[in-house]
Structures are given as structure tokens and as C-alpha cells.
Structure 1
Amino acid sequence: MDVMIGTLNRAILTLGFLLAAGALSAFGQGSETAARQAITVLCDDNYAPYAFRDSDGTMQGILVDQWQAWERKTGVTVSFVGLPWAEAQRRFNTGVGDVIDTVFVTKERAAIYSFSAPYATIQVPVFIHKSISGIARAGDLRGFKVGTKEGDAAVSELATRGVSTIALYPSYEDIVEAAARNDIRIFCIDAPPAYYYLYKRGIDADFRIAFILNEGAFHRAVRKGDEDILRLVEHGFAAIPLSTIEGIDRKWLGSELSRRFGLRIIGAVAVGAALLVIILIGISWDLRRRVARATESLHEKVILLEASEARNRAFISVLPDIIFTLDRRGTFIESSTAESNKLAFPPEAFIGKRLDEVGFPADIVSGFMQELVAAIDGNSITNYEYSLPGDSGMQRFEGRIVPLTGDLAILVIRDITELRRQEQLLSSSLLEKEVLLKEIHHRVKNNMQVISSLIQLQSYSLRDELDRELLHETQARINAMAAIHELLYQSPDLSSVDAGEYLGTVIEELSQGYDATGIRCVAETVKLGLDEAMPLGLITNELLMNSIKYAYGAGERGLVEVRLGLEGNIVVLAVADHGKGLAPGIDPMTSTSMGFTLVRSLSEQLGGTITFGATEGFRAELRFPSRQPPEAS
């Protein structure tokens, strides 16, 4: 194949020499040479055998030798700069260099370049792994990932033919390396470097040519307006003798083998062939057995691989997401989605371009790039939310960035407009319910205070001191229940109250109502629900009223201690005084008095136990399990 390309190149060059013969005299006058003493040529540095680097990194190949011959012929110094192809085009388009070599003519380039006559015809095949079949034209590539070189004319050619899943690589050698690692199984590379790198990597037997995507011609090009440089270049190459060009081709493409063989060689080949046949006959049965087993194993692996690829495509087809692969610079390498209408731009508008080149707002690009770099550097998943105008107003999107190997990451885009709208509605609904519940607690507290005031007014009309005392006790119980509604109304958490704070309010009400100044309370922070806190407050109220009324003599103000705490998940309440203790014959566990009956009943309601007893005075201890989850430490 390389020999055929060399022969074709020489034929094209011969035709170019004949067409340029009339211009040699003008070149001989040296007008362009006199006007320019040096030029800079940009070229792909990974296009063997035309231009590539040796083991020391020095540029070599057909074009290097041709430009050196051009330099000797014209006397104009040539600076030959090899770069990755996409980088070479970017630099040339920004004004760096005078000539760009190994360039195909495309519609986009024709608008900004002036081209020389073609000097080599290059085929652009699509290579597929030998395990893949059923691909005969560009349309069959839809749904497959196709590797190609960044900046190559094949990128736009594939996109034009409807291929959207394109993986971009800096060079042809990087593509072949990726194929050797099984990262890609389909790729598009110009024929000369493809054969070179496939043979060099030793995987030429693993890949086949599915079809020829197109056939193009190599040109040298200058920017529009620099046609004087182009004339200088063409006149210089026209002046190089054909024998020099052919010698350069032989150096890099080789020569055809001589077809004359000696008798000794023929005899040696015959003997070798006979020995080989004998050996093959001796081991053929073993080889057939091994080949059969290997073929069966390979067939099973191909079936599994095809099934895996089918599952992956089916999985992507049911996802509501858009999936992109980007590099660290924010360049779109490939995209996958079951619904292409979800894309803000068609694939050919952004594949191979950076985020800031597609048309997204600057603030979104800046935010995305920060999260992209953070995900790759930190090897962790990051999220970024942003809004874009849609058909029905502003739409909200979430971008989840997942790092891959190297400087690559997957970006998963999901439309979360409806989710955020539902969250906003739920938040508003919860706020309204909280306001309503607080208002209910406030009104219950007010109603209970009204009842308490009515009882107090009623007590003024009673003459019997015992009756007034009964109403006073009832009023204290109502105040204890009203206090918890007041706390819930003022609390930001409607599901629980601080039991210590609640008991403090109950003690304050009793101290004012009975003029008791000796009550001391030590309480830990214990969170309780309404159905636990209210019975606890009523029990505390009854025990304190007992100590205030009966522990000390008339006019005495002794100490009454209240302690509240937690032992694991058990709430412990202790009320004790140092007074006279219970009257003889009174057992709190069997007493039918209103106070002790309430204490026992409410203890059972809490699922706890109440114990009484002390060597001095009176002491009661309540223990019950808390229903609230423990707070995180």
C-alpha cells in the first residue's frame, strides 16, 4: 500500500511539474525569494511517514526532507514546526506561521485559506475490530463510539453523516493506543499513519477496514491575503528535480522487492516449505483442537460483549438524562442521549468545542469549570445547578460531574424544574400548617387561662375554705396544662418541648400561686413530645402541691427539690422535701386522694413507674422511657 501511495504521489508531482514549467522562468527571476528570507511551516507531528518524531523528539519524514530540499533550492530559511494537529490549526488561524502543510480542503477552510495544488492523495478508512460486523457505511456507525483526531476533517464529515458519538484524541498514535487498550473498537484514521501505528503496536491483525469514509488530497495552504507566499512555495517545489522527490519517497516508503530469485534461494524455500508441511501435519490435530476451543471461547465473549453493549444502549435510552464526556479544558468529547431534542445545540455544533465556545452564559461556564476541575483533581463527584430559558420559561438543571481516568469526566444533566417547583410548594404548605398549629396552641392556652380566671372568680364567692382550696388546686392543674401550649406556641419545633424549661414554668406558677419561695429545680435538657410532657407536668404539679401544703408547718418555707435528667433513654424525675413526711397510715400507692390518684394514673399513661419513700421528709421518683430519638452528640 505504501509503495502504491508513493507511485501515485510521484505521478501527481510529475503533473505538477508540467503545469508549473511555464512559471519556472518567473521563479528564476527571484522576485519572491528576494522579498522573503525565512518562512515558518506548521504541520502535524504525528503523521507517519510524512511528518513524525524520532525517539529523540526530532521531526523526520517525507515532508521534512522535501522542505529541506526546498530550502536548498530557494535559499529561503525554513523553520519546520510539528504540533498536534488541532493545536497547529489553532495557532495558524491566530497568525502563527506562514504555511500549514498536510491539509485537506474543506468548506470551512476554503473560506480562510488559499491552497496549493494537491501533491498526494490520501484515503480515510474507518477501521473496526474484527469482532464487530454489520458496518458497511457511515449510517451504520450511529450509536457506536467512533475515535478520531481532534481537528481532523473527519470530525465534521462524520457529524454531517449523522454520527454523534465521537471520541476525540490529540493524535493518531493516541487513537491506536486507545484501541490496543480496548477503550475504543471503531476509529477513523488516514491510511498512511494508520498502517504505520497499527503495525508498530502489533494489533494490525485485530482490525479491518469497514469502508472508506472519503478520499482527500494533501495541500499546502496559506491564510487569505498571503498568496505571494503560496506562489513562492509552489515555484520552489516545482524547481526541485523529480529524481530528488523520488529519492525521498524511496527513503521513507521503500522500494519494490526484486522479482529475480537464485536457484539456491528457490531450493532453500522448497526445502523449508517441505519441512514446514511435515511439521504442520504432525501437530495439525493439536492445533485444530486448540483453535476450536479458542474459537468457541471467543464466540462466547463476542456474544457477551454484544449483549453488554446492547444493555448499555438500552439503559441510556430509558434515562431522562443527557450524558457528556468532557476533558479538563471543558471540551465536549462525546454525548449520549435517547432524545436528541433535549440538546440545546445539535451534536456537530459542540463536539470538539469547549464550553465557552458553544454559547452558554459566562456565569454558567465559570461555575461549571470550577466544579469540573474540583471533580477531576479531587477524584470526587460534584454537582452544579443552573437555569436556562426554555419554551415555558426558565428551567432548572442539575449537572453531576463524575471523574474518569486521566483528565476526563462524565457530565450527567437532568431537568429538575418540576422537582424544585414541588419542593417550593411543599415548603410553602408546611409553613402554612406550622403557622396554623401555633395559632391553635395559642388559642388553647388563652382559653385555659380564661377557664382558670373563671375558677378564681368563682372561688371568691365561696365561704368554705376547703372548697376554695379545691378550686385553687384545679386552677393550678389548668395552669400546668396551659403552660405547655404556651411553650409550643413560642417554640420553632412544634413536635417537642424542653421538659426542663416546661417544669420551670410550672414551678413558677405554683410559687406565685402558693407564695412558695423554697422550690429549687435542677434539670437537664430533655426533649419530650406533647403526650409525654403534659403528664410529666401534671405529676410534678401534684407532687409539689403536696410538699408545699403538708411538708412544713404553718408559716414555714422549707426547701423542696426537683431534679430532672436522663439515664440512657430513661427519663428520671425526683421531687423531695425535708419536712414532716406523710401522715401515719397514708400509702401513696393505695391512697384514694385526688392528687395521688392522678400521679399513679399519669405514671401508667407514660409507661413508667413511681416510687415513694425517704428516711427524712417526703420523696417521690418517676421513671419512664423517652419516645424521642436521642440527639446526636
Structure 2
Amino acid sequence: MKKLAFFLLIIIMLGSLIQFAYAENKPEAVNDNKRMLIIGGDKNFPPYEFVDDDGEYRGFNVDLMRALALELGVEVKLQPMEWLQAHRALQSQEIDAVQGMNFNKQREEIYNFSTPFLLNSSVIFVKKDTENISQLRDLMGMKVAVQRSDAAAYILAEIGEIEVMFFSDLEVAFSELTANRIDAVVGNRLTGLHIMKQKKLNNMKIVGGELNQTDYGIAVKKGNEELLKELNDGLQRLKKNGTYNKIYEKWFGKEDVPPWKNLKYITNLLFIVLLVTGSIILISFKWNQSLKKKVILRTQELDLINKELETKQKIIKDSDEFKQQIIDSLRVGLITFDKQCRVTALNSMAESIFNINRTEIIGKSLQELGLNEYFNKEDIDNCIEYNKGSSMEERVFNIGGREYIYSYLISPLEGNLLLHQGGVLTFRNITEEKKLRDSLAQKDKMQSLGRLVAGIAHEIRNPLTSIKTYIELLPTKYDNRKFRDNISLQIPQEISRLNILISDLLDYAKPKKMKKQSFLLNELIINTVELFKVEFDKNSVNIAINCDSSLTIYADKQQIKQVVINLLLNSAESIADNGSIEISGFETSDKTYLVINDNGKGIDEKDADKILEPFYTTKSNGTGLGLSLCYQYIKENDGEITIDSKKGIGTKVKLVFNKKDREVCGYEQSTYY
């Protein structure tokens, strides 16, 4: 089993190496839509940039430019050339940038440089077993190799007594060092690291500090700030995502920090710590002497402060007890809870309602106490998670074997104190109020029913008159075939018409449990308007219905019908003769709208904010529950109602429903009455 696992690991590693090699050498895709940058560079400056034996342009700068192009989403065209030719090409703007250049004062007068991504310097290379060389002066009397045109030769010459030997490149110099024909090599640190990595020269090391340090980065034409900013941003992202480090280690490898550097750092740090500690001890001693003189005075001051604190604590305690007395005097139940849904406070009314003791339940969760069954869990979660309060809701509380109706409200705790977050539950017993409201609602419904019956009576007389006429003529015209055909056709029609009217009346009058269904809105509107056609005709009220016949809503049909009846009756009462009511229905992607608009006398501005409140009415014989019931029914069906009214202009009522279970029907043109 272990052999199989080892074999699979080898296969995975080989696959990764092949994929990496392919990614390193695959040709760049050309995208005609991308901006092209022309980048110049030295064609013979390994490992920074060079053309290898196969004619491929390679090196640290080459890989960095290609990675930078991918990061910026541009194409780059890399042009290897002689170093002086690269300078001339950038100055004449034949190229956009030079991919790598040492900074100096003369160049900064004609070029702008990117954020430096390398620090070029010269260092001393020796064999690992060399013990007597740690700085430049240790090279006196020795043979030291440098690269031609390297500034390190001038540094060695200033020291003197060093035999300097020049070589064409560091690779040859390292060969001489390995063969013990020279004692040390002084040259470019990164170039030397690259050669050591490529040639696997594990018997060499770097000693001493860095010499002639110079910043190194991308050069652009003086004044090309836009390109410079773009390149700097890209370099920053490459360093942040680790791409730069991978390219650096590929060409220069990881550097080993000499142990003596760490030792020197630790020694210096230890010295600083000892110095600071001694200073602190000395200062502390003198400070303690002065503090002793102040301790007695401060102690006396603290005694006075403690007495003041005791007085303030007593005031706070009295204040807390007074606040608790106020809360306990409220005739509503109150419970507060934190972000973990644990009870933090409650008043005596809540204790009485749920038969609990506050000293025993503080800190316990609502679920643990069984209180979550009385309230909507979603409202509590919204308060805790989103700091969102709930609208007033009604629930049946089963307490002591009896059912009570309570209304409750959940509100988030407001303020900036992070220690106190959560919500407040307030609730009160509305059992008697609910009974009174239902009684008044029934009274209001019966008043509406009386008006509806008055309209239906006329409709009933018409078919009864037709039936009576046919029956009276039956003995004398029975032998008339046309008469028999008419009586066979029309009497069933009139009876059917009577049956429909009576069914609608029963549907309206008989209370039912809420039953949601998908139904055609246009059909409900037409049937409802038909019930009041006689009264509308009597008062010359023009009714216009403009509603797509396929428009459906998902709600309790009888409740919506009663809402429409109440709104039509209100509109009919508010308009004068020859007035008009427009009923329109339309939909959006997620909502269905029903709008009833009249040109009646409108609502006074002082009454506008109160018309949906229970028991508020401007009618001498009204109960104030008509619009309140409309509001209640719409809310029970997950809808919204808004009323826009202006005195002397008219009223516009908008009902909004969520889309559910839509049905597909045909389209019917507007109908006018």
C-alpha cells in the first residue's frame, strides 16, 4: 500500500512539473483587442535578460514583464537590443519602456523610474571552507577576481595591496575560485546567486556586507506618468499575490542568512534591551521617591472620592429602583432579550401573564422558557440578525387552560452601547377589545348589507315581473308556439339570474374562515359592480373598468370582494350626480395592482392620517371600521393599501398584491357602465 501511495505521489509531481514547464514555455496568445506595449532590454545581461543559444529571449526581467502584462491585461512586445541602442530607442519613443535599469542622478533627469523591485549591489564570494575573510580589508595580500567594467574594481583599488584579476564574466571567475587559483570574487550579488544556482556551486558562500548598492527598476520616458502609475500598480499586485517572489526565486534562488548576522542582531538587540532596562530602573527609582510624597495626599483625595461614589451609587440605585417601579406599573407586558435570545429583563405584568419569577429566568433563552411559542420566531430572528422591528401582530395565548388574544410588538434595542443589544417585546391583552371590534365590524357589515340588499331588490323585481307576466299570459297564449318557446327560454334564464344574485348575497353575508385561492380579478370587479348597478344608475354614476381579463391574484376571494364593496360604497357616497369611478388593474414583474379612483369630494388633510384607524369616522352614522377592515383584510392577504386623497378633487385607493399561482386567460377590452 505504501509503495502504491509513493508511486502515485511521484506521478502527481511529474505531472505538475510538466504542466509548469508547459506554462513556462507556451507561446503567448495574441489578442488584437488588447493594448500593445513595446518593451526594450539588454540582449546579453544574464540572468536579468539575455538571448540563449536557441535564440529565445529569457531572464528575470523577461519573466517579470510577461507576468506584468497578464496582470495589466495588455500585450507586450519584448525587443532585445544593445544596451546603448535601448537608451536611444526610449528617448526617441520607439519603445514604451526599458524593462530594467539602475537608478542614478544623470538617468533620473531624462527618465522616470518605477518603484524599485531590486537592489543591485556587489558582494564578496568565497569558498565555504574559508574562515579568514569576512570584510574587504581581509582581502589584502590576496588574489581577487572582478568582472570587467565592474565598479567594484575601483573600491578594491582604494584599499590597496590587493591583486585584482579581471574576467569577462562571473561564471569564469567562479571556475577559477573553485580551482583555488584565486582567493575570492567580488561581483554583482544577484548575478552570482544565479550562477551558483545554475551551476549548483554548493561549495561557495557570500561574506561581508553589500557594496555599491543601487536601486533597479523599469524606466519610462520622462513625463509618461500614466504608464508609470499603471506599471507601479501592476508590480504591487504581483508582489502581493506572490508571483514576484516565484520569479525571483526561479532566477536568483533563496538566500541563506549568515549565522553571524543573526548573532550580531541578537547581540545589538540585547544591548539595547539592557540599556533601556537600566534607564527604566534608574528613572523608576527617582520616580518612586517623588511618588511616595504624593501617595499620602492622593490617599486622602481617594477617601473623599469614595465617599462621593457611595453617594452617587445610592442615587443610581434609587434611580434604577424607580425605573423598575415605572416599568412594573405599565399595564402591558415587557420582556427584553439579548443577541443570543436570552432574557435580560421583564416587568411584573409579564411575570403575572406567564406565571414566572424574574429572578429565576434572567439569562435563560426564550426557547428554554417556552416563551417562543407565543411569538413569531421569524420576527425575533429579524430583530436579532438585522436589527429590524416587527409590525403589530395578534396571537392567541393559551394561559391556564383559557385562551386570550394578545397583540405584541418587537422592537430592536436602540443606542450605541454594544453591551446591550437585542430586542424588546411588549404585549397586551386585547381579548375584550377584539370582541368589541368584531361586533362593530359585524354592524358595519350589516349596514353595507342593507345598502346592497336595496340594490339587489330592484334586480330581483325585474326577473319576478317577467316570470309573473308569462304566468298570467300562460292560460290564454299556451297554444302559441312562439310564446311557448319564449317562456321555455326566458323563465329559466330569469330564475338562473335570481339564483346568482341570491348566491352572491349569501356569500357576502355568511362569515367564513379565510381561504386563499387564485381567482380572476376582473371577474370579481364586474360581479361586484353589477350588485350596485341600480344605485349607480340612480345617481348617474359612471363606472369605467379597465382591467386585463387574465389578471389573477392569490387571496381570500370573499375578503377581497368585501374590500371592493366597501371602497365602491365610500366612492359612491363621496361623489355628486354625474360623477365617475374608474377601476383599473395591472401588473409588474412581481406585483399585481388594483386602483379605484373617483372624482368625489375627497378627504380633508387633517383626517388623512387617521382614516385607517379603527373607530375613526367622519360620518354621522358610521362605525369607523369600514376602511379599517379593508386594511386588515389586505394585510391578512399579504397585500398593501395606500390612499391618496385631496379635498374637492377626489380619492385614489391603490391595492398591491404579491404574485402567486397565476392562471392564463384571454384578454377582455374595457367595459363601461
TM over 0.5: no
Q: TM-score normalised by the shorter chain: which range applies?
A: under 0.3
Q: What TM-score do the two structures reach when normalised by structure 2?
A: 0.26
Q: What TM-score do the two structures reach when normalised by structure 1?
A: 0.28
